[in-house]
Structure 1
């Protein structure tokens, strides 16, 4: 009888220990090292990460913001373990290096693109009736950008450069319009006026381009565990409605909404992806 009692006690203790190990394997505390935004436009990504912390209750996640440089430097920090995560537009080349957490962070806001044009050309753009007419005009775009790849893949006429002032190039007629996400288009125009004395350009009030752009969180290629935690937390936030509510509070969404709510707006939709 004593032997049976001992065996039962041993099995009970062993079961409890195994359960504790399983719980510990699933739930753990850790610092999540992320880029500290140098541009207020990226504050929404930090707010999203706080939402991840909130919607991953089985983990005790401490968000740590690390001052970083450009995207290339961030990738190097992730490779060395000094950074755990970054965010960037969807990019096939980047996805070869990193593991993408494939939950779109912007709900198409990033892909709604404004046209900065010369004031004298506003009527010219308002008269466009199909996307092929737009493709025949010259777009100014950053050479290293995903936007340039999308435009060229869809037979747009693109003028790209790594150096030089896009403000002066547009004003001087090197291209017909400059593309930038609509949520920051007016900020770009204001900056050109203040810093480069270019005042004969404006955001076209009635024409937008919708590009197949979205942004993801990226982690190190072999960090499947972190990717799964973030994925699950984002899906929880979406299901609860917190994700959409946060998006609609963001500066980006409110700035885009001004243009999207314009009843006279023409949106040229570029479908497909790279």
Structure 2
């Protein structure tokens, strides 16, 4: 009877344990943005799975391959810019993990054009200039929908040389991106415009496999807890990349143009103001 009771107790405990693995397979962590996204993921999941561990991939994949890795369950979670296509293939956690920062865009320009850009005051004046973008980037559609002239290319690196060569006039970048990009290409006579800021909704989400509802729910709940208890904002605004970007970009001192993003899912949480960056509160 004692052996039976011991067996029953072990069996009951086993049934009480979570059915999911505590080890989460993630993409590789390469660069400040990826490190911040991972830190936010870790913060959220440790609110709901205190014993969680993470196993980063040893390989570096492009976004299309990362999506396939999630679908095939070789990777449990990725983070990527929102789009209807991704939200059909995977299960999104619809809380923008960078507070919509990717939709705050300032420009890399030719050094000789600083004065031309400093005089822009209206949308019509901005539309007299041509932007350069990646052909398949989600925000390329946003600019085109707003009537902004765009020239695109497949290769990211080409954009810097096309800009210097006069193929287009400016390269819109998220506010944490342009300084490193310009400084790492001293052979090109490029600069960062100090006048214009474009803002449009463009969330970066966590995505999991469509069948992994438990992981989705635990991440969502953990993010909600972190936002409510203040630990999310503490992590976000104290991250060196964010602090440096906000200090250098001087968002409040710029001419702001707000664009719609008609390419987002109708479940995008626009009504949750606490999810989004409000530059008036900086």
Question: 1:130 and 1:103 mapped to 2: Cα distance?
Answer: 32
- Please show how residues 196-211 of structure 1 align to structure 2 within 5 Å: 197-198=187-188, 200-211=189-200
The question of 1:64 aligning with 2:64 is answered no
Question: 1:273 and 1:252 mapped to 2: Cα distance?
Answer: 29
- Please show how residues 99-178 of structure 1 align to structure 2 within 5 Å: 99-163=91-155, 165-178=158-171
Aligned length in residues = 253
Conservation of the 8 A alpha-carbon contact between 1:259 and 1:265: no
- Please show how residues 1-274 of structure 1 align to structure 2 within 5 Å: 23-24=16-17, 29-57=21-49, 60-68=51-59, 69-163=61-155, 165-193=158-186, 197-198=187-188, 200-261=189-250, 264-274=253-263
Deviation (angstroms), 1:259: 4.2
Deviation (angstroms), 1:224: 1.3
Scaled by the length of structure 2, the TM-score of the pair is: 0.82
Conservation of the 8 A alpha-carbon contact between 1:29 and 1:60: no
Deviation (angstroms), 1:185: 0.6
Q: Provide the secondary structure at the position in 1 that maps to 2:101.
A: coil
Q: Provide the secondary structure at the position in 2 that maps to 1:106.
A: coil
Q: 1:143 to 1:28 in 2, by over 3 A?
A: closer
Question: 1:29 and 1:43 mapped to 2: Cα distance?
Answer: 23
CA deviations over 1:181-237 (Å, ceiling 9, x no partner): 1111111111221xxx10x21011222211221100000112111101110011011
Name which of structure 1's ranges 202-211 and 92-101 shifts more when overlaid on structure 2.
202-211
Q: 1:272 to 1:147 in 2, by over 3 A?
A: closer
Question: 2:252 and 2:200 mapped to 1: Cα distance?
Answer: 20
Deviation (angstroms), 1:19: 8.9
Question: 1:28 and 1:85 mapped to 2: Cα distance?
Answer: 14
Question: 1:258 and 1:190 mapped to 2: Cα distance?
Answer: 17
Deviation (angstroms), 1:260: 4.9
Larger-gyration structure (1/2): 1
Higher strand residue share? 1
CA RMSD of aligned residues (A): 2.3
**Which consecutive segments of 4 or more residues in structure 1 shift more than 4 A?**
16-23
Structure 2 residues not aligned, in runs of 5+? 1-8, 264-282
Name which of structure 1's ranges 262-271 and 79-88 shifts more when overlaid on structure 2.
262-271
Counterpart residue number, 1:13:
none
Question: 1:120 and 1:64 mapped to 2: Cα distance?
Answer: 47
Structure 1 residues not aligned, in runs of 5+? 1-15
Question: 1:155 and 1:263 mapped to 2: Cα distance?
Answer: 25
